[in-house]
Copies of this chain bind each other. A is one copy, B any other.
Amino acid sequence: MNLERVRELLEGVRSGRVSVEDALRELRGMPFEDLGFAKVDHHRGIRKGFPEVVFCQGKTVEQVAEISRRIVERGADLLATRASREMYEAVREFAPQARYNELARAIVLEQVPKERLKGVVIVSAGTADLPVAEEAAETAWIMGNEVEKVYDVGVAGLHRLLGNLDRLMNANVLVVVAGMEGALASVVGGLVDKPVIAVPTSVGYGASFGGLAALLTMLNSCASGVAVVNIDNGFGAGYIASLINRLAHK
């Protein structure tokens, strides 16, 4: 549920189409509607302007389908992350317009039309970082942004990054996705004067320790203006980038 639905309800009350008691009942149900295995926080729709995403890892296909169905039926936008193709097939049965981004492992369905906001740029280092970059991109997109992608510009081939300098310069906020040594965030942070959200990925082997190396690199960035999210957390990066870009368009 989003702000629009609460507004609709209030307008229904004002116009007399909806009784006070009915509105009350619906509002009360929002925060605590019980799905059995997970209480989806519809009230958050008011506060956050965006429905909760479904984090599919560790859930069964049935659970994902059931949670998604409720979201879809309410007319809200759906984003299911870390979803398998099998989960997508299950969702598609009741939401045929939903699409599946295989690389991002994300199910996406936009039901609330929005005007796209420019200014989110997603930068990634290597081919293997693409799943995380794409998860960030889908998250920013469903939250109403037009996403500019500058992929495969790792620091070992600096000319590729510099060849895209203009696109970086036009951002309001940049998401930088890199595994292995994660140096890209510092380099980008040194080139731009906009907030950089760095996402370490678990790409690598040996002393990358599942993304720890890239995480530490990014936390210790010598460039100012860089903040970091969890390893492989493309969703989190896309989310906060959206919050920031929204500010720029107020």
A contact set with B: CB distance below 8 Å: 1, 3, 6-7, 10-11, 13-14, 16, 20, 23-24, 27-29, 31-33, 35, 37-41, 43-44, 46-49, 57-59, 125-128, 130, 152, 154-160, 162-163, 165-166, 169, 172-173, 180-183, 186-187, 189-197, 200, 202-233, 235-237, 239-240, 243-245, 247-248, 250
Contact = CB atoms under 8 A, between A and B. Distances in A.
B207 A216 contact: yes
A229 B219 contact: yes
A70 to B, nearest CB: 14
Given A186-B181, A203-B58, A160 B239 contact: no
A165 B229 contact: no
A191 B46 CA distance: 11
Given A28-B47, A162-B35, A162-B40, A206 B233 contact: yes
A111 B170 CA distance: 29
Contact of A157 (B57, B157, B173, B190): B190
Given A40-B162, A163-B31, A223 B156 contact: yes
Contact of A31 (B43, B154, B197, B200): B43
A212 B207 CA distance: 7
Chain A contact residues: over half helix, strand or loop, or mixed? helix
29 contacts: A1-B159, A10-B23, A31-B158, A31-B159, A32-B162, A37-B159, A44-B159, A59-B127, A155-B183, A156-B187, A156-B190, A156-B223, A181-B186, A181-B217, A181-B219, A181-B222, A183-B222, A206-B211, A206-B219, A206-B230, A207-B215, A213-B213, A213-B216, A214-B220, A219-B230, A225-B239, A227-B228, A228-B228, A248-B248
Contacts of A162: 31-33, 35, 37, 40
Contacts of A212: 207, 216
A213 B222 contact: no
B236 A181 contact: no
A166 B1 CA distance: 13
Contact of A159 (B3, B32, B192, B193): B32
Nearest to A163: B37
Contacts of A126: 222
A243 B160 CA distance: 24
A28 B43 CA distance: 9
Given A155-B190, A206-B232, A225-B239, 17 more contacts: A6-B24, A6-B27, A10-B23, A27-B27, A33-B162, A40-B159, A57-B205, A58-B128, A58-B203, A126-B222, A156-B189, A158-B190, A181-B220, A207-B230, A224-B236, A225-B236, A227-B227
